Amino acid sequence: MRKLVLVFMFFSVAGFAQQDAQFTQYMYNTITINPAYAGSRSVMNIFGLYRTQWVGLDGAPVTSSFSLNTPLNNSNLGLGVSLVNDKIGPTTENTFSADLSYSIPTSETFKLSFGMKATANLFNLDVNKLSQEDQDDPQFQNLNSEFSPNIGAGVYWHSDKGYVGLSVPNFLETNRYDANEVAIFKEKINYYLIAGYVFDLNPTLKFKPALLTKMVEGSPLQVDLSANFMFNDKFVIGVAYRWSAALSAMVGFQITDGLYLGYGYDQETTNLNNYNSGSHEIFLRFEFFNDFSRITSPRFF
């Protein structure tokens, strides 16, 4: 039964549109969806994340992400690089991106950053993981490292208290495995809107509500709402709701000034809940400080 669910899930994606890799704690991994985020924390930031989705369902998505972003000296420029490895069923995608941002002050507290993203995508399909009626069907063949380039852009208005971002990580639509006019995946344009604000409830407690909206042709509108509390600038606990999809719990701990560890758990609210035991996400962030470094935003984002 679980394999049947996987086949249905895979070909539902094939028949409509492929979405970008999904992250519950996107607010710590913003560089993957908005290039204008690069350098916005005013320190060099190294980030690694591992996500296993729908645990117990054969072939369910498994995603690994690594990124580095930093301001360039004392200029208004920021630079970022990232790698996302996304596996689902018989397919594997490796996406390499380079990001460049430029920031201008709009007030004493806010900056407006503009970003550009250049991406190289390597797509692999292992048909041996599919149950083919005709093993010699020429329409089905392994694909190894099929290359496609892309470009994206974003804007990010931010201060040490709040942010609003708009982005399109990929402007170019790409068919995957379109030999003989058969397209397994169609990479459509993904549109993102993010926003959040930090409220100081008292000297030791901060509260941050946040929003992510993702829109892509051929797929339902995705809306993520989250609420996080930070205690003594060290411990974070929060909940999130992905509209008509999942409930999430998040925790994090600032181990040292530069090292932060976070974990998230998703529980499906759809019928998929009957076939899996939830999704797990863990990440580690490390930041390099020097005498001239300063964080311009709280550790929430």
Looking at the domain assignment, is residue 251 inside a domain?
Answer: yes
Q: Which residue has the higher pLDDT, 29 or 51?
A: 51
Three-class SS state of 180: helix
Looking at the domain assignment, is residue 43 inside a domain?
Answer: yes
Looking at the domain assignment, is residue 301 inside a domain?
Answer: no
Looking at the domain assignment, is residue 16 inside a domain?
Answer: no
Looking at the domain assignment, is residue 122 inside a domain?
Answer: yes
Per-residue pLDDT reduced to its tens digit, 253-291: 999 989 999 999 999 999 888 889 999 999 999 998 765
Looking at the domain assignment, is residue 94 inside a domain?
Answer: yes
- Give the global pTM: 0.86
Residue 177: its pLDDT value, please? 57
Q: Nearest-CA neighbor of 296 among 192, 179, 198?
A: 198
Q: Phi and psi dihedrals of 30, rounded to 5?
A: -65, -25
Q: Is the pLDDT of residue 228 over 80?
A: yes
Looking at the domain assignment, is residue 260 inside a domain?
Answer: yes
Q: How many domains does the chain have?
A: 1
Q: What is the rounded average pLDDT for all residues in the chain? A: 86
Residue that has been written with the tokens 């606990």 in this structure? 237
Print the domain residue range for 38.
Answer: 26-288
- Lowest-pLDDT choice from 51-55, 57-61, 93-97, 153-157: 57-61
Structure tokens at 188: 């459509």
Per-residue pLDDT reduced to its tens digit, 94-122: 999 999 999 999 999 999 999 999 999 99
Residues 263/282, Cβ–Cβ less than 8 Å: yes
Q: Is the pLDDT of residue 14 over 50?
A: no
Q: Is the pLDDT of residue 198 over 70?
A: yes
Looking at the domain assignment, is residue 258 inside a domain?
Answer: yes
The CATH number of the domain holding residue 87 is 2.40.160.40
Give kind and range of the element (H or E) at residue 5: helix 2-15
Residue 10: its pLDDT value, please? 46
Q: Is the pLDDT of residue 132 over 70?
A: no
